[in-house]
Amino acid sequence: MSLVLDIKGLEDLKKILGTEVVDMAAKEAVATAIFAGTERIKADAREFISTSDNALTAEQREAASQLDAMRTGENQLQVQTGRLQNSIQSAVERKEDGGTEGAVFTNVEYARIHELGGFTGKGGKVLMPARPYLTPALTKNITYTLDFLKKEFIGRLKIIASKHASEGGGK
């Protein structure tokens, strides 16, 4: 997923503080927001698996319907060993181009069939309904991550602007 943000007044700010300074603040804010977002997505995905009543939450149903999930089951995953739940990890990586990527993932072989549903079993004759846990966690946290990014970026810019003004650049 890629996002493009248009921030009003950013070009004026770059003229005052310098393009390099503003761009660095943006890159750092994005990296911090991606880290915070992936951590919340990981925690929520684990939570969606472990809900005690095993019924799909309204958030899970909504996320599944928004993403056209295949035949969502009435019940969510039932935890037996906790292997899938405990395998959900997150990673954040700084790219050579200065960007940042975040991922929430699992390496458990049966994770995909639970998330997406589909035919499984001997000869692929059993239809397993989708019981999404990663997708609803992502959907739930998009707004949080964007809000976090906005606050982080504005906070960083305020600090930079304050230093700039105290050094006599604000006159």
Query: Would you say residue 158 lies in a domain?
Result: yes
Residue 2 lies in a domain: no
- Establish if 5 belongs to a structural domain: no
In a domain, 3, yes or no: no
For the chain, the average pLDDT equals 82
CA distance 112 to 132: 9
> pLDDT digit string (tens) for 50-71?
754 445 566 666 665 655 443 4
The confidence band for 72, taking pLDDT boundaries of 50, 70 and 90, is very low
Q: What is the pLDDT of residues 87-127, one digit of tens each?
A: 999 999 999 988 899 999 999 999 999 888 889 888 988 88
Q: Which domain, by its residues, includes 18?
A: 10-166
Query: From residue 40, how far is each of 15, 58, 94, 161 by CA, in Å?
Result: 36, 18, 19, 30
171 within a domain of the structure (yes/no): no
Average pLDDT over residues 124-131: 84
Residue 30 in any domain: the answer is yes
pLDDT at 159 exceeding the cut of 60:
yes
Average pLDDT over residues 19-35: 91
Structure tokens at 140: 């739930």
Q: Please count the structural domains in the chain.
A: 1
